[in-house]
Amino acid sequence: MGRINISSNTKWEDIVGYSRAVRVGNIIEVSGTTATDGDEIIAVGNPYEQAMFIFDKIEKALLEAGATMNDVVRTKMFVTNIDQWEEIGKAHGMFFGKIKPASTMVEVSRLIHPDLLLEVEVTAVVT
């Protein structure tokens, strides 16, 4: 059972020591994903658009690892304002409404940059 590391090719992976996603066997773990493109923060102030960008970014990592969003069994969402849960949940539903993975959304005091409104991790199992 080999290990495949999926890279986002950002400088932070080597500095911090992580991969965008890791596949071991049929299990894929996607690291915490934010609404960033390089050093640019996407959709500042808009939790729905940030979430949509994040889920699209996660989908690309899964595809590179040989999976699809249909293989996702778990999502974990860390949000800086739980009052925005409906907007974030709407985006989650756009990607996972039919898949219905186990899911968690919790409020955290802050993320790595004040303009980031949420961070999402997923686990996928390829069957």
Average pLDDT, the chain: 96
Cα–Cα distance for residue pair 35/38, rounded to 1 Å = 10
Q: Using alpha carbons only, how large is the chain's radius of gyration in Å? A: 14
Amino acid type, 50: Q
Cα–Cα distance for residue pair 20/65, rounded to 1 Å = 10
- List, for residues 12-40, the tens digit of each pLDDT value: 888 999 999 999 999 999 999 999 998 89
pTM (predicted TM-score): 0.95
- CATH numbers and ranges of domains, the chain: 3-125 (3.30.1330.40)
